[in-house]
Each structure stands twice: as C-alpha cells, then as structure tokens.
Amino acid sequence: MRPTRTGNGYRDYSVADIHRLRFLQRAGSLGFSADECRQLLSLYHDRDPESADVKAIAEVKVAEIDCKIAELAGLRHALHHLVEHCQRDGQPDCLIIDDLAGEGMVH
C-alpha cells in the first residue's frame, strides 16, 4: 500500500487506503500485533472470509490478554504485600530493597 504523492509531496490516500489504515489502527488498539493485523487485513480483503478464522484469532488474543492480566495481578499482589509489610519507621532495613536484592521473601 503505497499512496501516490501530489505535486507538493503530500501523500494522496484513496478511500480504500483510509479504510485499511482505520482497520489497522483499530486492530492495533485492540492489542493485535503487526503480524496479526496483517493476517486480519488479509481476511478483511477476502471476498468470502471465514468468520471462524477471525474468531479464532480473536480468541487467541483474548487468552493472551487474560494471561497478561493474571500476570499483572500477581505482580500487583507481590508489590502490595511488600508495601503493606514495609516498616516505614526509618529503620535502615528495607523489606522492599531486600526483596529486590533477593534477600526477602514475597508471599
């Protein structure tokens, strides 16, 4: 997809180019990778796309997002635990620093 250029060097996008760009922007905003966007765009251009193919790609993305959410929830829990158990009393020992140095234990 290479848009033509006008006499002053500006890109001249066709209506179809604009639709493709919007499609890719929306797919990217939903977390699809560049390769996944290309695959979806290919299905978009298919005259008879299999909705099952599109659904399968979307289901994989939902599962990946669920894994990321679970991972982030675990990280939040571990950090919250450290913050809650921090002495905050000016002592030289710091549970958070000790844990980051591998000397503490996160529950």
Each residue of 14-32: pLDDT tens digit? 898 899 999 999 999 999 9
Are residue 3 and residue 38 in the same domain, yes or no? Answer: yes
Look up the CATH number of the domain holding residue 28: 1.10.1660.10
Helix (DSSP H) and strand (DSSP E) numbers for the chain: 4, 2
Are residue 9 and residue 44 in the same domain, yes or no? Answer: yes
pTM for the whole structure: 0.69
Nearest to 33 by CA among 64, 56, 73, 2: 64
Instruction: Check if the beta carbon of residue 107 is closer than 8 Å to that of residue 101.
Output: no
The pLDDT value recorded for residue 90 is 66
Are residue 40 and residue 75 in the same domain, yes or no? Answer: no
In a domain, 27, yes or no: yes
In a domain, 56, yes or no: no
| Widest distance between CA atoms in the chain | 70
* CA-atom Rg of the chain in angstroms: 24
Residue 107 pLDDT > 60, yes or no?
no
Domain that holds residue 97: 62-107
- Boundary residue ending a domain (49, 70, 89): 49
Q: Which two tokens stand for residue 89?
A: 């009393």
* Total domains in the fold of the chain: 2
In a domain, 57, yes or no: no
Are residue 69 and residue 45 in the same domain, yes or no? Answer: no
Are residue 1 and residue 34 in the same domain, yes or no? Answer: yes
In a domain, 107, yes or no: yes
Q: Give CA–CA dist 59/53, Å, rounded.
A: 10
Residue 48 pLDDT > 80, yes or no?
no
In a domain, 54, yes or no: no
